[in-house]
Amino acid sequence: MPKDVNLHILSELTAEKRHLLLQRTEADLGPFIEKVQPIIERVRSDGDAALSHFARELDKSPVEPDAIAATPEDFDQAFEALDREMIEVLTFASDNVRRFHEAQMPEEMWFKEMHPGVFAGDRIVPIDSVACYVPRGKGSFPSVVMMTAIPAVVAQVPEAVIITPPGLDGKIDAATLVAARLAGIERVYKCGGAQAVAAVAYGTETVPRCLKIVGPGSPWVVAAKRVLADRIDPGIPAGPSEAIILADETANGRVCALDLLIEAEHGSDSSAYLVTNSRKVAEAARAAVPDFWREMSDQRVGFSADVLCGERGGIVLTDSMDDAIDFVNDYAPEHLEIQAKDPHQYLGMIRNAGEILMGEHTAVSLGNFVLGPNAVLPTNAAARTRSPLSVFDFTKRISIGHVTKKGYDQLAPYAFKFARYEGFDAHGNALSEMRTKAFNSSS
C-alpha cells in the first residue's frame, strides 16, 4: 500500500512552497523540446517511412508505411469487435456532446447598422482543416474522439482528421474507430506523439497537412506543438490531467476522496488536490483514499499514489473558504469540482477554471464522458486566459463592413483626422477630395 496522501497546511507554507504547489509537469518542457526536434525533422524529410519507423521504435507497433490510414474494413471490424453495450454508451454520450455543441454554435453572421448608412458585423466560417489528436499511451480514449471530432463536424470543418497512436498489434483501438464514425469522421491515421504533430504540420504521403491541431497529449505532444507553433496552430494547451476538488465543511470527505482519485489515476504526470477549509473533511478524505485504492488496479494505484503522495497532489487545508478559493484561482485548474451542499454560493467567486462541476453528484467522470460540455480543457494554468475546446476553436470570425455614401460623409472626416495625426498620407488621401475627383474622372 502506498504511503499517506500529502497534507499541506496552507497557512504554514512559505511563499516558495505555496508556489511549488501550483507547478505542473509541463511547466518545464526544455528536455522534451530538445528530444522532439530530431523526430520532427525525420518526419518532415521522410514522411510515411518516418511514421512507420517511429511506430516500431516508440510505440512498439508494426505499422507499414502503406498501412497508416484506417480503412473502411477497419471501421467495420471495429463495430463487430466492440461490445454492443459499449456502442450504445458511445452513441448516448456522442448525442449529448453533439447537442451541447449544436446549441453552442453561433449564428452564421450578424450585421448591425452602427450609424445611418454604416454597417458592421461578423461572419463565422469554419477553419479549412483540423487534426484531432487522440492519445493512447495509458489507455484508449474514445471520449477524446467525441470531444474533438464532434465539435469539428458541428462547425462544418471541410477536412477534419483524427491522429492516434497504434496499439501493439498495429491497429487502432476499436472504440476509437466507432466513436470516430459516430462523430462523422472516417479519416483516421495511425501515428502518435511528436511524430503525429509533425505529420499534420508538414503533411506526408498519407497524412494531410492541417492548419490546426487540437486535443490533449503527453509532454512529447505538447513540446512538439510548441516547436511547430509557427507551422500549425497548436490550439489550447491540453497537457497532463489536473483537477481540484473544492470542499467546504458540508462536504462528505469520502466522496471527495473518490473524486480526488479521478484525474490522479490518469498518470504519474497528473496533478490533483482536495482544497478545503475543513480539517474534518480533509482527514476523512485522507483516511478514505487507501480504501478506494484497494478497489483499483495496481497500475492506477501507482499513478494516483505518485500524484497524491508526490510533488503535485494531495490535500490542501486552508484557514477559510476565501483562502481556498484564492488558491483555486491562482492554480486555474483544468477541472474544478465544488463539493458543498450549496455549491452555487461559490460559483461567482471562481474566475479561473477550465470547467466548474457543482455538487456532490456532479463527478468529474460525468464531465469527462457523458455530460455534454467539452472535456478538452486548458491545462498548466492556461484557464486564466483560455477556454474549453468548443465549436469556436473550429471556426473563425471574419469582420465585415459596408458604408453607403451617407455613412461615408459622416465617418470620413473623423478618419481623415486620425490619418493625419498618425502621419499616414495615403490613408488621408483616400478620404479627401481626391476620392471625389477620382469618382468624377472615372465617370
C-alpha span between 102 and 114 (Å, rounded)? 29
Length of the chain as a residue count = 443
Provide the edge-to-edge strand list for the sheet that holds 335-339: 7-9, 313-317, 271-276, 242-247, 335-339, 355-358
Q: How far apart are CA 194 and CA 318, in angstroms?
A: 40
Give the whole-angstrom CA distance, residue 443 versus residue 441. 5
Instruction: Quote the DSSP letter at residue 232.
Output: S
Residues 6+ apart with CB under 8 A from 52: 63, 64, 65, 68
186: annotated active-site residue:
no
**Contact between 276 and 319 (Cβ < 8 Å):** no
* Catalytic site includes residue 107: no
The cell numbers describing 288, all together, are 478514505
Per the DSSP assignment, residues forming a β-bridge with 274 are 245, 315
Q: Of 316, 212, 306, 304, nearest to 274 (Cα)?
A: 316
Among 240, 152, 164, residue whose Cα is nearest residue 199:
164
| Residue from 26, 263, 334, 355 carrying the catalytic annotation | 334
Q: How far is CA 353 from CA 74, 187, 218, 327, 378, in A?
A: 39, 33, 21, 12, 8
Out of 8, 26, 335, 337, the active site residue is: 335
Question: How many DSSP H helices and E strands does the chain contain?
Answer: 18, 13
Rounded Cα distance, 428 and 412, in Å: 9
How is residue 278 annotated by DSSP? -
For helices 142-154 and 174-183, what crossing angle results, to 10°? 20
Task: Give the SS3 label for residue 62.
Answer: coil
Please give the positions annotated as active site: 334-335
